[in-house]
Amino acid sequence: MPDTFKTFDSSVKNILPLILATAIFMQLLDTTVLNTALPSIAKDLRESPLNMQNAIVSYVLTLALFMPVSGFLADKFGTKVVFIFSLVIFSLGSLFCALSQNLTHLVISRVIQGIGGSLMTPVGRLALIKTFDKSELVKAMNYAIIPALIGPVLGPLVGGYLVDYLSWHWIFLINIPIGLLGILLSIKNMPNYISKKIKFDLKGFLIFASASLLLSIALESFGTLQNITPVLMIFIFGFLVIYFYYRHAKKTSDAIFPLNLFQVRTFRVGILGNLATRLGISAIPLLLPLMIQIAYGKTAVVSGWIIAPMALTAMFGKAAVIRILDKYGYRKTLMVNTFIIGILICSLGIPGVHTSIYWFIPLIAILGFFNSIQFTSMNTIAIADLRFSHTSSGNSLLAVNQQLAIGFGIALGLIILKLFENNHALIKGNMHLAFRYTFLAVGVLTILSGFVFRRLHSRDGENMKTEH
């Protein structure tokens, strides 16, 4: 077993969450910024804006393909080596994106970025989990999780300004100084955990990566195709391949994701809760700006500013979550917090089309606060009771699960919106009404997802309590 957290001085432990935060922020900002810039890139590269979707899909599919192997690579080559490698690859990919002369160049560059992105967050978080004692982990994870909240919020805003006042190239170039900072900090402060157990389940990896790839293709295709049947077929086939993985893992002693991970109740609930709750949470950064632009006729920059307070209040949630968890425990906190998030999402459907859009600001600000509590709590309870030998595989599976959950949430939001939009008897051509009903439906689903956390016991997560 590698050295425990006690071998590290306080400066290393202070900087490690910042290193992970840098990686998460760079990855999420890049993903959300690109959506805003696609029309400008299409014009400059003389491509149809519809073809530009390939630049997003290529990145997402690369994440789906390589994320499952992140734990094995970290165990074999060391967390420090793999993390620095991922930052270098992501930064190079960003540079190549900025230098792209056509769509083919851009897609290849996004694949390179995706290889780096698939390793950055899981390996950085793995180093954090192995460095900090359980009682310190919530606080450490808390600092690192903030970019996950502010990235999707600031992305469209930053993208809008960069494209309007500079050029689309800058949405990629801003990654390079952030990546260099991460590399310099990692060289000095990132611990290099290596595991002696380095058997690689190639067959399991290929099966699971195929399932992840198929599900990602289906999720990326939802909302963009008129004929949904082939997409549903891919989706169902993806789940069928997961079943094949289950059959494989049952008879394999060194499976890439061992089935006995799911014998740990807190991990099982954490994974399922992450998936269920993010269905609603992930749809909001897409649906709200869409409604503000389509139903209210405002610009992308205005919609960006409307949801920007979510990033600010996430900071306050970060400050409060440790005290809340220490006082109420994980079970009560996660159940109540999920119900509150669901009610807030429902509330986004209350204002009428003639109501001022500024009515959304307090709602979205409060939502940012509770989202912050939700993400920190879900991520830490999932790894609370994992054995040291299962940390790498459990952490990798959590990363894959989160990536798919975000895709599920966006796809679900678009599907529900289209179902209401096509219900002419109910909507009568009023697009704003379709958005309102969508928020109500997504909010109710989020409320129901809170019951997943009933499976937790009142004393679960006590080993994560902060030392006073």
The pLDDT confidence band at residue 109, using thresholds 50, 70 and 90, is: very high
pLDDT for 91 equals 93
In this model, does residue 419 exceed pLDDT 70? yes
Mind spelling out the 3-state secondary structure of the chain? CCCCHHHCCHHHHHHHHHHHHHHHHHHHHHHHHHHHHHHHHHHHCCCCCCCCHHHHHHHHHHHHHHHHHHHHHHHHHCHHHHHHHHHHHHHHHHHHHHHCCCHHHHHHHHHHHHHHHHHHHHHHHHHHHHHCCHHHHHHHHHHHHHHHHHHHHHHHHHHHHHHHHCCCCHHHHCHHHHHHHHHHHHHHHCCCCCCCCCCCCHHHHHHHHHHHHHHHHHHHHCCCCCCCHHHHHHHHHHHHHHHHHHHHHHCCCCCCCCHHHHHCHHHHHHHHHHHHHHHHHCCHHHHHHHHHHHCCCCCHHHHHHHHCHHHHHHHHHHHHHHHHHHHHHHHHHHHHHHHHHHHHHHHCCCCCCCCCHHHHHHHHHHHHHHHHHHHHHHHHHHCCCCCHHHHHHHHHHHHHHHHHHHHHHHHHHHHHHHHHHCCHHHHCCCHHHHHHHHHHHHHHHHHHHHHHHHHCCCCCCHHHCCCC
- Ranking 39-43, 64-68, 348-352 by mean pLDDT, the lowest is 39-43
In this model, does residue 71 exceed pLDDT 80? yes
Q: Could you tell me the two tokens for 140?
A: 């450490």
126-154 tens-digit pLDDT: 888 888 877 777 777 777 777 666 666 67
276 against 12, higher pLDDT:
276
In this model, does residue 51 exceed pLDDT 70? no
The pLDDT confidence band at residue 223, using thresholds 50, 70 and 90, is: low
pLDDT for 423 equals 77
| Residue 211 to residue 68: CA distance in whole angstroms | 11
In this model, does residue 36 exceed pLDDT 70? no
| pTM exceeding 0.85 | no
pLDDT for 162 equals 75
- Give the burial string for 377-397 (b: 16+ CB within 10 Å, else e): bbbbbbbbbbeeebbbbbbbb
Crossing angle, helix 134-165 and helix 103-131, to 10 degrees?
A: 160
| Residue 266 to residue 91: CA distance in whole angstroms | 36
| Residue 356 CB partners (closer than 8 Å, separation 6+) | none
User: How many Cβ atoms are within 10 Å of 418's Cβ, its own excluded?
Assistant: 15
By percentage, how much of the chain surpasses pLDDT 70?
89
Amino acid letter for position 214:
L
pLDDT for 83 equals 94
Over the chain, what is the mean pLDDT? Answer: 82
In this model, does residue 204 exceed pLDDT 80? yes
pLDDT for 467 equals 53
The pLDDT confidence band at residue 5, using thresholds 50, 70 and 90, is: very low
Crossing angle, helix 79-99 and helix 175-189, to 10 degrees?
A: 170
The pLDDT confidence band at residue 164, using thresholds 50, 70 and 90, is: confident
Using an 8 Å Cβ cutoff, are 10 and 24 in contact? no
Give the torsion sign (CA, 418, 424, 425, 428): positive
The pLDDT confidence band at residue 432, using thresholds 50, 70 and 90, is: confident
182 against 290, higher pLDDT:
182
In this model, does residue 400 exceed pLDDT 80? yes
In this model, does residue 4 exceed pLDDT 60? no
pLDDT for 1 equals 40
The pLDDT confidence band at residue 443, using thresholds 50, 70 and 90, is: very high
Using an 8 Å Cβ cutoff, are 273 and 461 in contact? no
| Residue 259 to residue 37: CA distance in whole angstroms | 42
311-328 tens-digit pLDDT: 778 777 777 888 888 888
282-303 tens-digit pLDDT: 888 778 877 887 888 777 677 7
| Residue 376 CB partners (closer than 8 Å, separation 6+) | 138, 141, 142, 145, 317, 318, 321
Cα dihedral angle (376, 24, 215, 227), rounded to 10 degrees?
110
345 against 138, higher pLDDT:
345
pLDDT for 468 equals 43
Which phi and psi angles does 168 have, rounded to 5°?
Answer: -65, -25
224-242 tens-digit pLDDT: 555 677 888 888 888 899 9
The pLDDT confidence band at residue 201, using thresholds 50, 70 and 90, is: confident
Q: Which whole number is the average pLDDT over 399-413?
A: 82
Q: Which whole number is the average pLDDT over 270-290?
A: 86
pLDDT for 466 equals 60
pLDDT for 32 equals 67
Q: Which whole number is the average pLDDT over 191-207?
A: 81
The pLDDT confidence band at residue 50, using thresholds 50, 70 and 90, is: low
4 against 26, higher pLDDT:
26
pLDDT for 35 equals 65
